């Protein structure tokens, strides 16, 4: 059994499925997806529906997933489309009202962070950034979902995050997972591959820290 982490799928169904084949993902493995399944790409809703049906996949909340949850209550309003990324909205239109309600219910269950163990090491998984211990709930939410980790930030345990495309920290092409002390950023910008040269989908196997790219 192996433990894998991906992030920021942003509707990229094709590369997600390709990655599962590349890592030979099996029933005995577990995949953590650290947020931002929807928006920017065409198949976010299809991805969400797939992921929530898999017993061995755990999704953490990203800022785009939270925005989807908040927007769903406006779906039936006359200006409802204004709340959504157009491609995400198109995906929602294929669902019945009950399926949308079930999706919203699923989104309310997503954890903001998780600590997982693999290969004898504990890892703190979060979409954007760990929060300081003295942060209020509101401030912590801002850190977990929206903040950008600075290259000067230090953490006292290994942190795996997405949210900030690694192009923010490095000019290397193709983009690769960025490691800085205890911080590992795995968002290699699959959603931006048409705009950012070298964008790709990354997957990290925590047991041995092996990196995979498609
Ligand atoms: Mn994000």
**Interval between CA 85 and ligand 1 midpoint (Å):** 14
Predicted local distance difference test score (pLDDT) of residue 67: 97
Q: In the CATH hierarchy, which fold is given to the domain comprising 3-213?
A: Purple Acid Phosphatase; chain A, domain 2 (3.60.21)
**Interval between CA 66 and ligand 1 midpoint (Å):** 10
What is the rounded radius of gyration, in angstroms, for the C-alpha atoms of the chain?
17
Predicted local distance difference test score (pLDDT) of residue 16: 98
Predicted local distance difference test score (pLDDT) of residue 195: 79
Residue 161 · residue 129 · CB < 8 Å:
yes
**Interval between CA 144 and ligand 1 midpoint (Å):** 10
Residue 25 · residue 50 · CB < 8 Å:
no
**Interval between CA 201 and ligand 1 midpoint (Å):** 15
112-127 residue pLDDT tens? 999 999 999 999 999 9
**Interval between CA 8 and ligand 1 midpoint (Å):** 7
151-200 residue pLDDT tens? 999 999 999 999 999 999 998 889 999 999 999 999 999 988 887 778 99
Least confident of 56-65, 78-87, 122-131: 78-87
Q: How confident is the model at residue 101 (pLDDT cuts 50, 70, 90)?
A: very high
**Interval between CA 143 and ligand 1 midpoint (Å):** 11
**Which runs of consecutive H residues, i.e. helices, occur in 110-214?**
137-145
**Interval between CA 62 and ligand 1 midpoint (Å):** 5
**Interval between CA 119 and ligand 1 midpoint (Å):** 27
């Amino acid at each position: 059994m192996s433990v894998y982490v991906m992030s920021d799928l942003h509707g990229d169904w094709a590369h997600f499925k390709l990655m599962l084949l590349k890592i030979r993902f099996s029933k005995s493995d577990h995949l953590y997806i650290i947020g931002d399944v929807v928006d920017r790409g065409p198949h976010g809703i299809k991805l969400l529906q797939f992921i929530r049906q898999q017993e061995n996949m755990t999704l953490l909340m990203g800022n785009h997933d939270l925005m989807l949850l908040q927007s769903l209550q406006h779906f039936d309003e006359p200006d409802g489309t204004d709340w959504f990324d157009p491609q995400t909205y198109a995906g929602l239109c294929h669902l019945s009202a009950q399926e949308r309600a079930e999706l919203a219910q699923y989104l309310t269950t997503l954890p903001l962070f998780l600590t997982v163990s693999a290969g004898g090491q504990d890892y703190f998984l979060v979409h954007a950034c760990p929060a300081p211990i003295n942060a209020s709930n509101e401030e912590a939410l801002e850190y977990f979902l929206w903040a950008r980790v600075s290259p000067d930030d230090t953490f006292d345990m290994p942190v795996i995050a997405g949210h900030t495309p690694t192009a923010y920290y490095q000019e290397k092409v193709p983009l690769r997972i960025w490691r800085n002390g205890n911080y590992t950023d795995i968002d290699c910008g699959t959603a931006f591959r048409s705009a950012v040269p070298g964008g790709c989908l990354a997957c990290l196997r925590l047991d041995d820290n092996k990196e995979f790219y498609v």
